[in-house]
Structure 1
């Protein structure tokens, strides 16, 4: 690998989650030279294990986090405009549970929610009679009234990849499967050693380091050898389950638990309902986590408190879990720990700075990146100011909106069947033509591995979006794995390693543009 010892970059970012990629994007767009190192895949930890909401956090109002809610609601509008292909409005039904929060408290909270964040495009809250209408149909008779309010949903892992792609197209170097193994200050620069998956190492010289390692932020702080930080991280595991669709309609439900938690039930991938999340404190070093039987049973019980349909753990089609690196604020109750972010700058006079990111949520990643650049500006001395507020993410430049774009693509690619057409439009937006290339028929997409995942799309993901394993493709760049049979997933895994970035393998394919073996 190249040794960049003599070619310093302005910024070395450690961590390829939403915050790291957001900071790399912002910095590259201001003309800074950027290298980002991620020890796994982009969004392979916390950022692909969220509830996938772009929201203000209605329940945060109970903890008086008005600044966080206001900023989040403002960002909700910004992100809806920036990525209408992967972010879409979603109406939430909040049934009133007579034994929990009083109705007037919910009404007051929703009034604030509607007004403190500059809501412009989404419809306001309204009161519901759950005895009438589709919203109350799947619920138990005890729930007679409720509220409908607005938020938004996103494909979290794709948002991260698109931020990284935007950064790369603006000059950033994105290195996945690349671990920081050592770093030391040498006056006004850092000397950092990065190790790649093949064991090869390279030295990167950087004027500043951003530690956006998420759950591993404290491990990186120790590795950097900076002064004892004033901040610490609290790891909280959030688990989710995916069930066969529980109800008709495109609305979601916000369900209040008797323990003070909130559980969401959200339409997911057409045929399913996504349910989550839990809040379980985790002690010790971060690592892989999974939903436990106890957590799955808890989510099923919460659903059972509201829905007439019986829900049992054996119905779960898929589950996932992630560690949320929350900023430690002294709360013992994991549900009450702040979701706000804190940026800790270590910048001794005359030495290269290190900025560590604690906490945060996916909704605020763009604004967090702006704050990070404000803190780094005195040391790096760049002149360009904020720019991301009005800039679309790749594929998001749909001036007439998503529906009009999808209709136009349906006419242009009339050979693409539903639901593949809509899925591809959602995933790639205005860049759909880059995925399809010169294909003029379904046969020219190459082999269909199942559920509409073809050679041509996989080749694009390998070539452009850093997909290096079957899991990258099936569960992060897409959610096709959920729609495949076990045999189809196994067959895809077998062929993936031998597939080049042009789609060629030693298996016989059909198509053109390098897709025919």
Structure 2
């Protein structure tokens, strides 16, 4: 990677970073492991295994991070609320991962301070919060150095969070956690796995499994873009398909599903988040600044419906809006104020607990008699650690005792050297090219060391430094680079996961059409394909 003053970014380097989709590469020698499911668990597993020298193939029936892994609260956190359930082991593990990722991926994982108000008659009082936050900081090793929690009287806390209603506000605390872009975190890991030698193909579905002597030996894989199928041989198979895991387990669903819904509202908070306790049921929910909007969520309800048709229901919207309005000062948010919304399913371990919120978020690896390993449960934050256990097991079974190297390893797009100095230099370059300051800041968050690709695009194409739409911090060059280099197959891949415009802006049909026509030459789409893509996301 280049130094902060190096203006050169060669075409060869750009090509090396380009994600390529090549179904034919599945037709090769026997793989060591085939990973089914390209969410956060599949991505970490493939990346770790490839770094250890295993022959890896990673597939997903849809796009990378197309389900739960792009429908999270976008947090890298220890889970303060889990301390109430005395789940110290999980909190310690996730806090260790948070601290590691803050250091190893400063472009991808950013510190975020949360406020916790204490209201008269509320469920959480000052003493319990102070004890819990002291323990939380202690488990993270974050006491001192400006990272620890802080206490505020009611008036000072109200001044820090003027959005909150002041009546009954006795005091408040702030504490440190972190946030990310979940879909781009997955994408970066898939890109890293591919660079390390893994074969990674999205829109590629595993069908019938083949066995030899009672053990899995191959699966029939279908390219969903062409209909072509082939048998792919592997020594081991890992099921990280999340809500679709049962389809690979011959229909046995030995886990629990919980639906989580988030709303996207206008910017209410500035640069700090809030952890709040719902009046309706005492659950914790968040208000989080994200790409200049406010993310509100999440719900946590049992789900027994169609896993291919998870959607935001009217009662989900009412629940979250009612809770936001309960805490809002002189403001009443209505459905018309919602910019975007999304739903996802959490896969939880089987439990008899009456509420999904009471079920542990810890992770387990299930092994079937035929050798299929299935990942159940877990969290975005702890996925790297859990994936390392999966790969440890694979290496043991293969007789290749190679130790995990992902803990503390900079992520594939992490810039080298002094990150603040690098960031300042990149921002100066961006502004000089005509990119507005807010969009430039988010470009660094999205691309890390790849951001010179954006600058190169701005130099090549006049007008590509401007925003795609006025009120969202994404520029035309970002759109074009994503389309060309990030394994985009469908328009929704681009507008929901590469750039989350579909949930961060109320796009008019003509704006979506303009975007589709802009990227059509890059992706080789004709007018018929453009119309099909617009129809698929309900734009005419």
Q: Secondary structure of the residue that 1:145 maps to in structure 2?
A: strand
For residue 410 of structure 1, the aligned residue among 427, 433, 438 is: 427
- Conserved 8 A contact 2:480-2:519: no
Aligned equivalent of 1:192: 219
Aligned equivalent of 2:535: none
1:109 paired to 2:132: yes
Deviations 1:449-492 (A, max 9, x none): 43575664334323432111222112211223424641454224
* Inter-partner Cα distance in structure 1 for 2:522 and 2:303: 40
* Inter-partner Cα distance in structure 1 for 2:394 and 2:242: 19
Distance 1:4 1:57, change over 3 A: closer
Aligned equivalent of 1:390: 408
Q: Per-residue deviation at 1:360? A: 0.8
Q: Secondary structure of the residue that 1:124 maps to in structure 2?
A: coil
Aligned equivalent of 1:221: 249
Q: Per-residue deviation at 1:2? A: 4.0
For residue 202 of structure 2, the aligned residue among 169, 172, 176 is: 176
1:312 paired to 2:337: no
For residue 474 of structure 1, the aligned residue among 483, 486, 495 is: 495
RMSD: 2.5
For residue 239 of structure 1, the aligned residue among 238, 255, 261 is: 261
Q: Which has the higher helix share?
A: 2
Q: Which runs of 5+ in 1 are unaligned?
A: 507-517
Aligned equivalent of 2:85: 63
* Inter-partner Cα distance in structure 2 for 1:27 and 1:284: 34
* Inter-partner Cα distance in structure 2 for 1:400 and 1:139: 37
Q: Per-residue deviation at 1:29? A: 0.4
Matches for 1:361-440 after TM superposition, within 5 Å: 361-401=379-419, 403-413=420-430, 414-418=432-436, 419-437=438-456, 439-440=458-459
- Conserved 8 A contact 2:340-2:505: no
- Conserved 8 A contact 1:74-1:119: no
* Inter-partner Cα distance in structure 2 for 1:110 and 1:392: 29
Q: Per-residue deviation at 1:320? A: 0.6
Q: Which segment is superposed worse, 40-49 or 371-380?
A: 371-380
Q: Per-residue deviation at 1:130? A: 2.7
- Conserved 8 A contact 1:499-1:505: no
* Inter-partner Cα distance in structure 2 for 1:44 and 1:36: 14
Q: Secondary structure of the residue that 1:207 maps to in structure 2?
A: strand
For residue 186 of structure 2, the aligned residue among 150, 160, 180 is: 160
* Inter-partner Cα distance in structure 2 for 1:29 and 1:210: 17
Q: Secondary structure of the residue that 1:437 maps to in structure 2?
A: helix
Q: Which runs of 5+ in 2 are unaligned?
A: 1-22, 529-540
Q: Secondary structure of the residue that 2:250 maps to in structure 1?
A: helix
Q: Per-residue deviation at 1:412? A: 2.9
* Inter-partner Cα distance in structure 1 for 2:440 and 2:460: 13
- Conserved 8 A contact 1:82-1:397: no
Q: Secondary structure of the residue that 1:7 maps to in structure 2?
A: coil
Deviations 1:262-297 (A, max 9, x none): 110111212x21100001111144223122111111
Return the TM-score normalized by structure 2. 0.85
Aligned equivalent of 2:20: none
Q: Secondary structure of the residue that 1:311 maps to in structure 2?
A: coil
1:204 paired to 2:232: yes
Q: Secondary structure of the residue that 1:132 maps to in structure 2?
A: helix
Q: Per-residue deviation at 1:392? A: 1.4
Q: Secondary structure of the residue that 2:179 maps to in structure 1?
A: strand
Q: Per-residue deviation at 1:76? A: 0.2
1:297 paired to 2:318: yes
* Inter-partner Cα distance in structure 2 for 1:122 and 1:183: 53
* Inter-partner Cα distance in structure 2 for 1:176 and 1:5: 15
- Conserved 8 A contact 1:445-1:455: yes
Q: Per-residue deviation at 1:503? A: 11
